[in-house]
Structure 1
């Protein structure tokens, strides 16, 4: 049943483009043709005009509330690799998983994990030095976001041994040594087309060789999962071949609506208080003077021409939109994807109302980290941990989908 009461009632052209995975110019073309008619007062497109799109229907027919009630039938053990600052681990914890080991190379990220969860078994160091055969507990799920490296293809059979030297090989080795029921890997969307798809083909071959069936990979948009950020991640889920006929994996339902930056910064649906001031980068004086001229939601093209030329320098004469440059966020839209630093020239993330880069706690809220999750290390390390993380709410939704799968496997084994 369609539920219009709890859904968003209108969309900007830019947000609708993100939801539908279309270029913004496609939406603008529909507006020019009269297929979509924005409200004259707000310039927003009413939801009634886009109900025929399956992505919009998915909000209105969401099973999010029911899926939030999913709980493990028993204690499910989890190993996480490349754990970073804890976004995926926190989401998995919220879904009900018990972490038996988390591996991470970065010392500041390890300090963050230990500081917030002293009971977690955080193994700091190079994954190639971790012997997973020493883990005695049965492991139900292994997760991790392996950094994507180019593989060498010349004269190779593209199997498990041929990926040696890559971090994917180390994750594959962990799966081989641990033999979990299920694994989940996350990566950048670009992995789908990396090396013209050959990298993903190698990964698929190795997964099959390890004895797992890969669910058709899917790119998930964080804005669908109660995250006020336009972040996309490629998700790979593998089920052990001896269990594949016992249960089917279902992707998580989207949340009932899209949240905006204001939901991260102010008391409301996501947080019980306004965001607190926190350490953050600052602009040099001249850059601040220039950025003062950029309106909320605007970028370098909104500057006066002489300031465009000064700010962009040689880039002023090059083609392409370069929409991340001198970009100020808007409270009424989800944030652009966070990077590892908010003041990088190509991917500017300026506060919507104040002329400064986003502060560290604002960064964390956009990634849906709880306010009591305290990051350790210098400011640059904190931004890096947050910017590289899987958004916590998205991770929790994926975690519940994995719990549902394991519950189904459990029930089938009990009844067989």
Structure 2
């Protein structure tokens, strides 16, 4: 244990009063003992408490304690690291996550709490290749993998789809440019399904139709992804991608993400190897059930539903939602939303014990995206969120509860991250295998790179032909 510190020192570290620190000692929030009437405190417990509660800031720092055993592992650098879901999966596959780059203060604190030896950097827009390599304590030619999930809101079908006209979209391009400059053997990009269809320059639907000009090439569906692929190809990387359902890799959750694998050696990477299937096909076990994931949790920290909504939850059983109420109660429960379009399956939704969870969101108690416990009258707890996303039970989360939900809700499931890491490690060792050709990775059409490219080229030819007719 490190040298003990005084009440005054701890108060200075936490920027609180000495009286507050004494209360923390009495409440055993800090690891402290009283000797001759004075408290002496373990400084590591002060740091841990400070990071968890946001009394302390997680500062940028270089990698610590790069031991020989870490040096013998392939090296990965992580960007847009969040709560490190993708990183934990890649780490599990045998990589040394030498650096994490994250701007959000609560995520940074979570990273510092759990992986204090990993280098930590902030805003990617201010990073240079030299700064990244210095912080990671690695030479340019020694980086095996750069991995990241750039902000997805710029490409999400639920947003304005501003693509690279959005600051978050610009961060995507910065990530690609930075990765290309560092020249790792592999680059991985993780993103939402909307990336497959997001245009480079989105035109509002109100400005489309017979009375408006035809869409330019930049406005075509998938224009943003096509641009990214062209930049990577010009830099010498061969890219393959698909839309993957995390349930096919052992996650007790239906969550779909685009994963792009970019290889510097010019060889096209195979798709990820599934470990589960929905119906047990291909000799694989069936998707994991929610029940299996939530067994044994004894402590729950959770948000609460308003009493007026609990009235309807108490009428629903596991796996049911508002449609299982009487017509009169449906209208009463949904109000004006009852008459809106769409399936509205997220309203008053109790999860099923015997299916994977639906995609976790950043707030489990919002009216249109409820994630209620199958039996108890409450939203899923943060402990249940962690189990569904496959984080270790002892993984510490910084910040208030709503920020913890946001961190886990935004994360990549560990099993999907592991599948990515396993494939890259197998490629490095030249022992990667191709998954079954007829395996259905997603419920959507034209989501793998060959199918997507054919569809995009057909769309491109059609758009060019329309432009020629206008001349």
Same fold per TM (> 0.5)?
yes
Aligned to 2:272: 251
Give the superposition deviation at 1:109.
0.7
Distance 1:164 1:210 in 2: 23
Distance 2:106 2:291 in 1: 29
Unpaired stretches in structure 2, ≥5 consecutive residues? 1-69, 156-163, 200-220, 277-284, 433-471
Asked if 2 retains the 8 angstrom alpha-carbon contact of 1:73 and 1:407, the reply is no
3-state secondary structure, aligned to 1:228: coil
Aligned to 1:264: 293
Aligned to 1:401: 423
Judged with a 3 Å threshold, the aligned counterparts in structure 2 of structure 1 residues 165 and 227 are, in CA distance, closer, same or farther, namely closer
Distance 1:150 1:336 in 2: 23
Aligned to 2:261: 237
Aligned to 2:88: 90
3-state secondary structure, aligned to 1:185: strand
Aligned to 1:328: 350
Aligned to 1:223: 247
Distance 2:413 2:232 in 1: 26
| Cα RMSD, aligned residues only | 2.4
Give the superposition deviation at 1:304.
2.4
Structure 1 runs of 4+ aligned residues shifted over 6 Å read 162-165
Aligned partner of 2:171 among 167, 172, 185: 167
TM-score scaled by length of structure 2: 0.64
TM-score scaled by length of structure 1: 0.72
Asked if 1 retains the 8 angstrom alpha-carbon contact of 2:344 and 2:368, the reply is yes
Judged with a 3 Å threshold, the aligned counterparts in structure 2 of structure 1 residues 409 and 122 are, in CA distance, closer, same or farther, namely farther
Deviation string, structure 1 residues 92-116 (Cα, Å, up to 9, x no partner): 1101101121100111111111111
Asked if 1 retains the 8 angstrom alpha-carbon contact of 2:154 and 2:169, the reply is no
Aligned partner of 1:108 among 106, 109, 133: 106
3-state secondary structure, aligned to 1:390: coil
Distance 1:194 1:208 in 2: 19
Answering whether residue 331 of structure 2 is matched by residue 309 of structure 1, we say: yes
Distance 1:198 1:308 in 2: 41
Aligned to 1:211: 236
Distance 2:119 2:332 in 1: 51
Give the superposition deviation at 1:169.
1.1
Deviation string, structure 1 residues 107-146 (Cα, Å, up to 9, x no partner): 11111111111111121x2110112223143211000001
Asked if 2 retains the 8 angstrom alpha-carbon contact of 1:150 and 1:199, the reply is no
Count of aligned residue pairs for this structure pair:
319
Asked if 1 retains the 8 angstrom alpha-carbon contact of 2:84 and 2:111, the reply is yes
Which structure has more RCO (C-alpha within 8 Å, separation ≥ 6)? 1
Alignment of 1:20-59 (within 5 A): none
Alignment of 1:6-21 (within 5 A): none
Aligned partner of 2:384 among 339, 351, 362: 362
Structure with larger Rg: 2
Unpaired stretches in structure 1, ≥5 consecutive residues? 1-71, 152-159, 267-273, 411-416
Alignment of 1:113-124 (within 5 A): 113-123=111-121
Aligned to 2:150: 146
